[in-house]
Amino acid sequence: MAAWLWLLLYFVYDAAATKMKIVEEPNTFGLNNPFLSQTNKLQPRTDPSPVSGPPHLFRLAGKCFNFVESTYKYEFCPFHNVTQHEQTFRWNAYSGILGIWHEWEIENNTFTGMWMRSGDTCGNKNRQTKVHLVCGRSNKLAAVSEPSTCVYSVTFETPLVCHPHSLLVYPTLREALRRQWDEAEQSLYDELITEQGYKKLLQDMFREAGYLKKSSENGSDVKPNQTRRLESLEECTKAHSELSEEIKRLQGILERHGISYHTNGSSNTELQPAGLGTTTARGEEKYHPRGDVGDRDEH
């Protein structure tokens, strides 16, 4: 009995003399243990933009759709964000935000994609995702890829875009902006503005509608209406020549449409209509239907 007592005392003394590591919380197997909640681990860099675009898509706001490929789980929440969770026990498994709802992509006057920007840091840039909306039988996150480093492509199927006119921009604009669009279309038809000028007017309308973000919000340092600084006489001469050619071009257009002009001795040019060629009897301008300019008449 005494021998057992001495042996027990020996082990107690040896344990007390040895430093023991105390683990205060369980091992999470890196940042992304798939058995732990990921929600509170994601730290967004910014708030999502307001819901915008075709009104029939607004019903998608507040919903989320999952897609699992290999060991990755993706989640797309329209008008909110896109996230990725690596379902492994690696110590450095990634779980984070691939993009936050930012703006629409518009081509040929059609909503062609949703841009999710300002995602998690990726080297010297942030992750971003373009969401392609395609016709499908049900709302489903169908595919995810990474065409270039930290730039992702998501395909979302939905019956809400199956109608051929479901993604047109013009019908979604308020009446004042639609009138501006009609006027810009007519000016392009009359050659009073260039194709480039017409596109710029549309971009301004889309920004005013909230579909596109301003340049500064896209990370650009270029300020609207910023004056270009000419650094040399050669640049100044070239710019003057370009402006002179543009003035001649515009004067030729005015002459073809029966609008006379005269200068008052300064750089300003006053225009005077020569008749009622482009107005109605009530003095209202006549516009061709938007998008159907027909053949151009040369006067």
On the question of pLDDT at 227 being above 50, the answer is yes
- Reported as a pLDDT band with limits 50, 70 and 90, residue 25 is very low
- CB neighbour class for 116 (10 Å; exposed up to 12, middle 13-18, buried from 19): buried
Residues contacting 224, CB < 8 A, separation 6+: 214, 215
- Mean pLDDT over all residues of the chain? 75
Contact 149, 170 (CB under 8 A): no
For the beta sheet containing 65-69, the strands, ordered from the edge strand earlier in sequence to the opposite edge, are 65-69, 72-77, 81-86, 95-107, 110-117, 128-135, 151-158, 140-148
SS3 65: strand
Residue 106: closest CA among 124, 128, 133? 133
On the question of pLDDT at 295 being above 80, the answer is no
Q: How many CA atoms lie within 13 A of 174 on its CB side?
A: 8
Tens of pLDDT along 238-271? 778 878 877 877 777 777 767 766 655 444 444 4
**What's residue 93's pLDDT?**
75
For residues 173-185, one letter each, b for 16 or more C-beta atoms within 10 angstroms of the residue's C-beta and e for the rest, the string is beeebeebbbebb
**What's residue 143's pLDDT?**
95
On the question of pLDDT at 66 being above 50, the answer is yes
On the question of pLDDT at 50 being above 70, the answer is yes
Residue 83: closest CA among 93, 68, 98? 98
On the question of pLDDT at 49 being above 50, the answer is yes
> CA–CA separation, 35 vs 26, rounded Å?
12
Contact 104, 113 (CB under 8 A): yes
Tens of pLDDT along 139-193? 999 999 999 999 999 999 999 999 999 999 999 999 999 999 999 999 999 989 9
109/239: higher pLDDT:
109
- Token pair, residue 20, equals 């023991």
173/16: higher pLDDT:
173
**What's residue 284's pLDDT?**
36
**What's residue 1's pLDDT?**
54
On the question of pLDDT at 21 being above 50, the answer is no
Which is it for strands 128-135 and 110-117: parallel, antiparallel or unpaired? antiparallel
Residue range 112-125: mean pLDDT, rounded? 93
**What's residue 2's pLDDT?**
53
Lowest mean pLDDT among 107-116, 128-137, 161-170, 288-297: 288-297
On the question of pLDDT at 28 being above 50, the answer is no
Contact 258, 275 (CB under 8 A): yes
- Reported as a pLDDT band with limits 50, 70 and 90, residue 223 is very low
Contact 41, 33 (CB under 8 A): no
Angle between helices 195-209 and 175-189 (to 10 degrees): 180
Residue 120: closest CA among 60, 45, 18? 45
Q: Which stretches of 141-194 are DSSP H helices?
A: 175-189
Q: Does the predicted TM-score (pTM) go above 0.75?
A: no
**What's residue 261's pLDDT?**
65
**What's residue 64's pLDDT?**
95
Q: How many CB atoms lie within 10 A of CB 56?
A: 13
Largest CA distance in the chain: 126
Q: How many CA atoms lie within 13 A of 122 on its CB side?
A: 20
Residue range 127-131: mean pLDDT, rounded? 96
Contact 56, 166 (CB under 8 A): yes
- Reported as a pLDDT band with limits 50, 70 and 90, residue 91 is confident
**What's residue 210's pLDDT?**
95
> CA–CA separation, 194 vs 242, rounded Å?
14
Torsion of CA 85, 89, 94, 96, to 10 degrees: 40
